[in-house]
Structure 1
Amino acid sequence: MLKWVQSGLSAVAGTAEPIYGPDALQSVTTGLTPETAFGELTRQDLEWRSLPYTNVETQTFYLTTVTGHVVFVQVILSNIAGLHTTAQFTCRVYHPDNAEDRVWTSTHLENFKVGADKTSFTADKLSIDLSEDLNTYKIKSEVNDKSLVDIVIVREAPGFKIGKNGTTNFGTDPKNPWGSMRHVFWPRATVAGTIVSNGHLIEVSGNAMYVMALQGMKPHHAAARWNFVNFQGPTTSAVLMEFTTPPSYGSQVVNVGAVVRKDQLLAATIVNTAEHTKVKSDDANGWPEPLEVKFTWSGVQPESLTPLQATLEGAIPNLVERVDVMSEIPAFVKKVVAGVAGTKPYIYQYSNPASIKVKFGDEEYEEAGHLYSEATFIS
């Protein structure tokens, strides 16, 4: 806890940390090889941690439907300095052609709690339940009349974490880290149910991807930039999660991912790249807004050790939204953080058709599908 109060303003407003150096980061990929990257998910991996200090936990379900809707539903559980815990339920529904179906809601939750089994989550007018066999999530939300959710997510391919616990740790003493970043995934699942978006009933059917994340420290101290990829095709899914640390930890890149086909995990990967191959300067903030991208995955199938190479590249012309994160926080905090720390976080969210090229052993194929991607710039 000393690091939270080492600089009083930093503890309150999120100003820059001292330069600890690259040795103060213990990446989730440290000591792993492509052959040992895969970690099988257990019940404990899917439990809420409810840490007693500053952290943010999320469950996010990304849906790609046969009707062309792109949806995500998310629970955010935030603890501020171990003193105050809040929860939000967020829902985005997007369709490229049907503007009347589009909605974005973020609703404060009342009387929220993690269940005794640590995998369920409830609040007034909300429930998220994981089945005993760890294969099915049932999500029902009536917390906001603009986005009523009643869906079932069924895992189709193996879930995964990287290594033993999917966690990157921060701190100069590896045995006593002062921060962490954790991700576990279901890269391919199915979804069925209904969503009422702005009064429009949507029959939901298609593919889903699920990620449970924990940032066990202030998010802007953990990462300066993020890239996120969720590709869903008729048989193939690919996920990639990359963050770059601030200079205080050596501006190091941590990148994890996976490629699956139907019910088979082709590889959980730690040798990946996320490139913005063409950008333009955003007049509003100066960030290099991506226009074209290239993502690559390289690894081996955990059991057969069959090698995998996958590439997805091309233009991403359809920017769904550019999110000004600072606009979501109180004005006085925004003024202090922007004036002293110089942070100006923006999230660029994209929804585009795309194709992935896969080489798995001697087999090569290309599959068309849908790409949802995010590029986040923080500091």
Structure 2
Amino acid sequence: MAKFVPIILTAASISFVAWLYYNIAVYDQSLFEAFSNSFLVMLAVLLVACPCALGIATPAAILAGVGKGAEYGVLLRSGEYVEKARKITTVIFDKTGTLTKGEPSVTDVKPFGKFTENEVLRLAAIAEKGSEHPLAEALLKKASQTEVRLTDATEFEALPGRGVQCTVEGKTVLLGNRTLMQEKMISIELLQDTLAQLENQGKTTILLAVNGKPAGIVAAMDTPKESASEAVSGLKEMSLEVAMLTGDNERTAQAVAKQIGIKEVIANVLPWQKVEVIKKMQAEGKVVAMVGDGINDAPALAQADVGIAIGSGTDVAKETGGIVLVKDDLRDVVLGIELSKKTMRKINTNLFWALIYNVVMIPAAALAFLNPMWAAGAMAISSLTVVTNSALLKFAKFKFEKSNVSANQAKKGGAM
């Protein structure tokens, strides 16, 4: 556009001078009559070249795309993400709360040494009492069901991506994953067989240590969302690479990934390491989309080319994401990417027709085939064509549109 205006002004000026000379030299017109006719040619060039169609080609399509996305609960924050989303080559999913329901339930409590099952559960529940993590809620619910007495912990310290450390009744309590136990140099060799058995069943394991010694294992099971498998299948049909990125252990992550249909699993990753994984993929030339829901996912969502936040997740994740899925339906990830591709096709179509219009009409005006009135009408028609083409996006059909609409109708029917 920066070059378009000077080019048109130059073309209009050349047309004016050329026709002024031609009218006087060839048609033997008076200076006033030649000036008037030449001025009309120049005016026609300027009117027909008014860059309305080119100027609204992109915003009209983006506005239509954003509106269409809003109908399905897919919020596109800006045109920048529409442009990036169509180039996505790799989609990475967080596990807990994104691919899974984020509603784990405690399935096993395995005491070790002199500790009993109730003691392990009680200490674990006290340690997680102030946490908002889904596993904490599962522990507290289980403790409530078994009616164990919970006191307050002191010297509580959250260790991101690893677990928590606190003091309970004068005892130093550690609750977390293998990484935490390794950091504190607590041997868990004797627990490895039990850990493997639980993790091979797709369960998330939490290790408990008291005063520097292992005390037991708490295992919880979180089930995949109903829409997860269908979403992954849809992305693969679009020839996109799909991966899971999680802080959970390898065995549990692989078990969940197998149920959903994801082959590439990157496990045992701390929150800040997720950013490094994404940077590495970007360095390989991949355009990465990250789908997440929690505070721990926010840095990865920001680093990804396109951050896709689940609407049921934390406010931090939603603020960081370039695309926000209002519904807790992973099929909307496919819909969002598909919508971006369709919107970009509309933009390209708009630009094509706007360019064709200018290529044909500007020479026609410069050769005096159009008077200013017809030039103004042609310019208006070109703008109307672009707007109409963009509006047609409202009638676009998507892969999961029918199932989403059916689900919404079912919910409304249930509410009645």
Shorter chain as normaliser: what TM range?
A: under 0.3
Higher relative contact order (CA 8 A, sep 6+): 2
Question: Could you say which structure has the higher strand fraction?
Answer: 1
TM-score when normalising by structure 1: 0.27
Give 1 or 2: higher helix fraction: 2
Radius of gyration: which is bigger?
Answer: 2
